[in-house]
Amino acid sequence: MHLRSLKKTKKDVSLHDPIGTDKEGNECNIKRYLLWISGERRDELLRQENENFQTEVIASLMLFFGIYYFFDDLF
């Protein structure tokens, strides 16, 4: 029974286990890598959200001023 419990824990991985080093020689762990990825994804989502907002504002202004030229190309 004790051997079964040890076998299960062999696959366990800690977020603080080192997975390599960065360019500066600092130790990288899984937690640091996941935080970096989430930051990159957050920046990408914010950029897309900003672009979508700008497109909506331009389309609204064009509609308000009666400009219909290439209106369909915005969406």
Q: Is-contact 58 74, C-beta < 8 A?
A: yes
Could you tell me how many residues make up the chain?
75
pLDDT confidence bin for 40, thresholds 50/70/90: confident
Paired with 20 in beta bridges are 28
pLDDT confidence bin for 74, thresholds 50/70/90: low
pTM over 0.75: no
Give the closest residue to 12 by CA, choosing from 26, 30, 28, 27. Answer: 30
